[in-house]
């Protein structure tokens, strides 16, 4: 199917680093958790875990960082700590709510996130934008986390659109590679704290400086170039 001829059918947002400035929160929570539980934190651990599903990163913390707990317990306890932080103060990125509402006026929206399902639901509820998303998928609900394409393919399938007619909004190396592998148009809004690798940024069709720059024209450019 020719994307440029058919036009845009849906927009699929990432969550962490795109709508919420969450990478530092996850980093702090995981590091403290590892140290409290007697594991060995590594400086590259957060970057290693970016894009992993909860199943994958909890196993990584258990097996690679030496947390002496079953991965399922690691996942649930870390997610609850993150949820507590969000309930106190949700770190929405500037322009996040407005960007979601702007896109929802034109297209059906999906969300394809590496966060745990309860975290996804909590963020969208606290931000007041849950009703703007037709579909939300956690990578813990599919086979593999990012950079595998699974979460984006599932989101497109549930939206009922060909992946080539959907556009992903991403910030990280693994997210950009996942969206590209799934065949979506790709808009990059690079994470400033954890900037994507150059080869991943080159996979994007459009690179923007902020969510304020996310316009219908940018979306249409991305799907036409895909």
Strand partners, 206: 187
Claim to verify: residue 131 and residue 30 sit in the same structural domain: no
Among 25, 39, 56, 8, CA closest to 162:
8
pTM: 0.92
- The residue out of 88, 123, 143 marking a domain boundary is 88
| CA 23 – CA 16 distance, rounded (Å) | 7
User: Do 58 and 113 share a domain, yes or no?
Assistant: no
> What are the backbone angles phi and psi of residue 152, rounded to the nearest 5°?
-75, -40
Of the residues 40, 71, 88, which one is the last residue of a structural domain? 88
Cα 124 from Cα 35, distance rounded (Å): 30
Contact of 37 with 135, CB cutoff 8 Å: no
Sole residue written with tokens 């994958």:
56
Assign 171 to helix, strand or coil: coil
Closest CA to 112 of 53, 70, 56: 53
Domain tally, the chain: 2
Indicate which CATH number applies to the domain containing 212.
3.40.50.1000
Q: Domain check: are 8 and 102 in the same one? A: yes
47 and 11 part of one domain: no
pLDDT score of 223: 84
Residues 179, 70 share a domain: no
Please indicate, yes or no, whether residues 140 and 65 belong to a single structural domain of this protein: no
Same domain, 55 and 124: no
The per-residue pLDDT for 51 is 77
Q: Are residues 14 and 29 in the same domain?
A: no
Is there a single domain that holds both residue 35 and residue 111? no
Return the pLDDT at 5: 40
Q: Which residues span the domain enclosing 68?
A: 23-88
Query: What's the confidence (pLDDT) of residue 6?
Result: 62
Domain stops at, among 59, 88, 117:
88
Per-residue pLDDT of the chain (226 residues; tens, 9 = 90+): 334 446 899 999 999 999 999 988 999 999 999 999 999 999 999 888 887 889 999 999 999 999 999 999 999 999 999 999 999 999 999 999 999 999 999 999 999 999 999 999 999 999 999 999 999 999 999 989 899 999 999 999 999 999 999 999 999 999 999 999 999 999 999 988 889 999 999 999 999 999 999 999 999 998 877 7
Whether residue 179 is found in the same domain as residue 197: yes
Question: 69 and 107, same structural domain?
Answer: no
Residues 108 and 187 in one domain: yes
Whole-number pLDDT of residue 194: 83
């Amino acid at each position: 199917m020719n994307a440029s001829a058919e036009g845009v059918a849906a927009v699929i947002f990432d969550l962490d680093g795109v709508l919420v400035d969450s990478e530092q929160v996850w980093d702090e929570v995981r590091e403290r958790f590892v140290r409290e539980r007697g594991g060995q934190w590594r400086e590259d651990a957060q970057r290693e875990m970016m894009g992993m599903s909860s199943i994958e990163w909890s196993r990584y913390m258990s097996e690679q960082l030496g947390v002496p707990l079953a991965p399922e317990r690691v996942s649930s306890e870390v997610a609850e700590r993150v949820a507590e932080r969000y309930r106190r103060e949700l770190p929405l990125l500037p322009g996040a709510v407005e960007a979601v509402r702007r896109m929802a006026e034109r297209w059906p929206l999906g969300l394809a996130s590496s966060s745990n399902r309860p975290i996804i639901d909590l963020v969208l509820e606290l931000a007041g934008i849950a009703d703007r998303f037709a579909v939300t998928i956690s990578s813990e609900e599919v086979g593999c986390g990012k950079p595998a394409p699974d979460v984006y393919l599932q989101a497109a399938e549930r939206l009922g659109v060909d992946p080539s007619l959907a556009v992903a909004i991403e910030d990280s190396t693994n997210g950009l590679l996942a969206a590209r592998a799934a065949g979506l148009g790709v808009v990059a809004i690079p994470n400033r704290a954890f900037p994507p690798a150059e080869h991943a940024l080159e996979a994007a069709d459009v690179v923007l400086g902020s969510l304020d720059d996310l316009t219908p024209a940018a979306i249409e450019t991305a799907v036409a170039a895909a």
